[in-house]
Amino acid sequence: MKGLNDKQLEACCYTDGPLLILAGAGSGKTRVITHRIAYLIDEKGVNPYNILAITFTNKAANEMRERVDNLVGFGSESIWVSTFHSMCVRILRKHIDKIGGTRDFTIYDTDEQKVVMKEVIKHLNLDPKLYPERAMLAVVSKAKEDYMSPDDYEKAHAASFRDQQIAGIYREYQKRLKSNNALDFDDLIYQTIFLFETNPDALAEYQERFKYIMVDEYQDTNHSQFVLVKQLAAKYRNLCVVGDDDQSIYKFRGANIYNILNFEDTYPDAKVVKLEQNYRSTSNILNAANGVISNNEGRKDKTLWTANDEGEKVTFTRYNNEYDEAEKVALKIRSLNRQGVSFDDIAILYRTNNQSRVFEEKLIYENIPYKLYGGTNFYSRKEIRDMVSYLKLLVNPSDDTAVKRIINVPKRGIGDTTINKINDFAIDNGINFYDAVIDIDEVPGMSRAADKIKRFASLIEELKSMLDEEGVFLSEVYDALLEKTGYLDELVSEGTDEAKARIENIEELKNKIVKYEEETEYPNLTELLEDISLVADVDEGDEDSEKVTLMTLHSAKGLEFPYVFIGGLEEGLFPSQMSMDSDDPDAVEEERRLCYVGITRAKEKLYLSAAAQRMIRGTTCYSDISRFIKEIPDDYIEKNGNISEGNSVFKDNPYSIGFNQSVVKKPISNIGFGRPKTNQMDYGKNNPYAKKSYGANPSANPGFGKAFPMGNNVSSEYSVGDKVRHIKFGTGIVTSVVPAGSDREITVDFERVGEKRMFASLVKMKKL
């Protein structure tokens, strides 16, 4: 017990009866759990066989197992250190036959679940557009988390025809899982609860085995996990739960904060120990966090403190826009690195995944290496690669890779067999893939698929023709692309959290397009794609090299960094507009908990920032500073930039986000991607921004056409021996220029990264 503080020691030594350990951020909760296990064995004489420790992730379970083994030594292998799911698998492998299953059951992953759900929807003759498989799986998952059977679900939603249909889907889905001798992940907990409910002997066996139970991250448990733990602990009641209600941020995954808030109602004789000493952060950072979280009403009262130094004040800066914000953050990171701070010690956190795009681009321009934690580079995300492939096809029909990627996206019933036949025809006749698509009547064996191919070709040709129309903006073409392909509608109908994140990314790509139009004298699609290619093809680099970490605030939980930047602290973004509009009183409080989690990731210095204006769905919006900034006491924060009140368009409501019509260049529909409404801004000659449009006259619009242009494009005028500077690779010497179809392939030997090969139409270099 050496090295434990008084409260940690108290938590370790209380072993009989229910115990709630409220472990604040950075207070050493894992240390307490492992030492408590050692105390039970060494001081109380508890058999390791009778101890169960549950956590949420395999990583956390492995770390706890390693610590327990090192601390306890001989006998530690008898302790169950497990996730909820792996514990349930072990129980069901032994007892599932008691509820009509077989012990050799298969556990289905997400892809296998989708296959089954697709079969169910087809079998029930339901429209997959009205009942998307992903959305249906999400509903079934939620029902199982709430421990609701198909019959329970049907009774609870008796007034809704759609929900009655969903109950039928749920019932048929379970029937097929059973016939396949399979369980999905939610079934593991659901069926274990059902086993214990219907087989008292099985429950008694595990109650007798697990006389001492510890549950980590209790604030993240859902209803079914709560029920399972309550069942196991019912006999001996030696249940210790560890968590922090102030870090409950996973409601969207089913977490129920009331499991921890109401623990003393469930167990009236429970002892509560608060771990409030933080070993991670400076006192200024902790006081800022306390100032924010104290505004939540639904929480246990506690205040973090530290014996660490006071440290620097938290810095908040309000920048002009998100590009200014990202650029200044990148420059500050560069400055810190020059002062000796490792890139590994720096993290940039943000509320939504799509915010990463601007930060990524600015870091690339500053040659700052970075990694996305738990995510994918913005331009590598599936939906972005799909959209970019469509755009590439509009200007370069010779790009076979782009055509093949999107010919059946969204699904048009064009299968691999059809694509292979078209490809073979193209190769045999010495033409590119898209030419074969245009001449589909000439391709053998296409009788059944020909009409589908023709509709696809007609769609592409219609979009290409828009590029020839005078006064049409690239953002309009992008709107039309999303509307006419049905790509956006498919994501909207899916309705899952993953689909919503993809929609946000698609909206962010539109922001990129509109920003490019605003900053370019003669915008054209070729140049836009070139600009994208500069930041899309980022080498991963050496895995062992130092890198700045980029991640969402949700992903940051459990991590810590000496230097932390949190961007986008604006009303409507953080807290989110959805939480502000919600009828759920806990919605904004969960956003505040998320802010608290972000603040407490920082050890030495915390930088907070906001943008006075930000592009949302292609529209420039003005917003007020986040309420969370205003909740930090002035003694602990230094504010810079334009931080005066009244900058929001809607002055009467400081928590609204709006937009200034006078600066909006491109009108959008309610969801951001529709065709312009007739009563909105004119795109023709009367538009003051009409000079930004581009028509069919190539002399007035350099670089525009249906294929990557050569002509007078200066990017193609490179010769062997030229010294050049590339925006990403730095300086180098041109060593080769060779024809490549209608383009040229340039080889450059760069001083910093070595030899690179690039197409002239997509490269952005300056001669020196």
Angle at the Cα of 616 (from 612 to 617), degrees rounded to 5? 165
Helix H, strand E, coil C: the string for 168-217 is HHHHHHHHHHHHCCEECHHHHHHHHHHHHHHCHHHHHHHHHHCCEEEECC
Catalytic residue among 133, 216, 383, 743: 216
Q: Residue 322 has which token pair?
A: 């998100």
Partners of 83 in the β-ladder? 55
Nearest to 165 by CA among 116, 126, 113: 126
Q: How far apart are CA 287 and CA 433, in angstroms?
A: 62
Catalytic residue among 217, 361, 530, 589: 217
Catalytic residue among 36, 502, 512, 601: 601
Catalytic residue among 113, 247, 418, 549: 247
Q: How far apart are CA 699 and CA 438, in angstroms?
A: 29
Would residue 29 show up in a list of annotated catalytic residues for this protein? yes
CB 15 within 8 A of CB 212: yes
Q: What are phi and psi of 413, to 5 degrees?
A: 80, 20
Angle at the Cα of 367 (from 710 to 565), degrees rounded to 5? 130
Q: How far apart are CA 566 and CA 214, in angstroms?
A: 34
Q: Round to the nearest angstrom and report the end-to-end CA distance of the chain.
A: 67
Would residue 142 show up in a list of annotated catalytic residues for this protein? no
Would residue 479 show up in a list of annotated catalytic residues for this protein? no
Q: Give 410's Cβ-side CA count (13 Å radius).
A: 15
DSSP character for 312?
Answer: P
CB 622 within 8 A of CB 659: yes
Partners of 107 in the β-ladder? 183
Q: Give 636's Cβ-side CA count (13 Å radius).
A: 22
Residue labelled with tokens 């700045």: 548
Q: How far apart are CA 624 and CA 309, in angstroms?
A: 33
CB burial of residue 656 (10 Å; 0-12, 13-18, 19+): middle
Nearest to 312 by CA among 10, 531, 636: 636
Catalytic residue among 7, 8, 29, 383: 29
Residue labelled with tokens 């350099």: 702
Would residue 216 show up in a list of annotated catalytic residues for this protein? yes
Q: Residue 758 has which token pair?
A: 């690039």
Would residue 661 show up in a list of annotated catalytic residues for this protein? no
Q: How far apart are CA 747 and CA 732, in angstroms?
A: 10
Cβ partners under 8 Å of residue 694, min gap 6: 472, 522, 523, 524, 700, 701, 704
Q: How far apart are CA 428 and CA 289, in angstroms?
A: 67
Q: Is 567 helix (H, G, I), strand (E, B) or coil?
A: coil
Would residue 217 show up in a list of annotated catalytic residues for this protein? yes
Nearest to 672 by CA among 253, 354, 412, 349: 354
Catalytic sites, residue numbers: 29-30, 216-217, 247, 601
